[in-house]
Amino acid sequence: MAVLDLVYEGDPRLRQKATKIRHVDDSLRRLAANMHETMHAARGVGLAGPQIGIMRRIAVVHIPENYDDDGAPAVTLNLVNPEIIRAHGRVCAYEGCLSIPGWTGEVPRAEAITVKAIDLDNRPLRIKAHKSLARAIQHEIDHLDGILFLDRVEDKATIRQLEEVGEEDVVEA
Ligand code: NI
């Protein structure tokens, strides 16, 4: 496995729409493993293809155990062609992005979502997510559509340096 180079804000690839994946093969499975390694090295909870310059609709997510609540299990996902099919509620929280290091802002997101995707074995996947998992998945799907979290900050006064808010209160993906 390998840690891949991240793409940062200002790179036009972060503003392009990623293309749909027709079939998951071994090279995509290797890419997913490297994306997990890259995400862990950067201490994020999610990473999407465009953030490593791969313009295809793949994202990985890992929410560590006890992240939102004591006793909550860890969740690890590989999402190919993810799509939100249901969303409800609205919640604002601080969010950050591995492609915009050092910055955060309050982003409104759906509180709970249902997502369909395919997994690394080309099987259909349907996930119900809420709290930080739902936030991370919405953030990653935005990356696949060329949208960055700063675009979604409604109150621009909440855009601050990460260290002012404290990393533990920010979902970084
Ligand atoms: Ni991001």
Summarize pLDDT for 27-59 with one digit per residue, the tens.
Answer: 999 999 999 999 999 999 999 999 999 999 999
The answer to the question of residue 68 being in a domain is yes
Residue 13 CA to ligand 1 centre (angstroms): 13
Residue 148 CA to ligand 1 centre (angstroms): 7
With a cut of 90, say whether residue 166 has pLDDT above it: no
With a cut of 90, say whether residue 5 has pLDDT above it: yes
Residue 96 CA to ligand 1 centre (angstroms): 7
Task: Express as a percent the part of the chain with pLDDT over 70.
Answer: 100
Specify whether 172 is catalytic: no
The answer to whether the predicted template modeling score (pTM) of the entire model surpasses 0.95 is: yes
Residue 122 CA to ligand 1 centre (angstroms): 25
How confident is the model at residue 97, as a pLDDT? 98
Q: Which residue is catalytic, options 95, 106, 140, 172?
A: 140
By residue range, what is the domain housing residue 123? Answer: 12-172
DSSP designation for 19: B
Give the count of domains, the chain: 1
Which DSSP string corresponds to 61-118? Answer: EEEPTTSSSTTPPPEEEEEEEEEEEEEE--EEEEEE-TTSTTEEEEEEE-SEEEEEEE
SS3 of residue 36 by DSSP: helix
The domain that holds 48 is classified in CATH as: 3.90.45.10
Nearest 5°: phi and psi at 92?
-100, 135
Give Cα separations from 124 to 79, 113, 162 (angstroms). 10, 17, 37
Q: Give the C-alpha separation, 68 to 131, whole Å.
A: 7
The answer to the question of residue 4 being in a domain is no
**Mean pLDDT computed over every residue of the chain:** 97
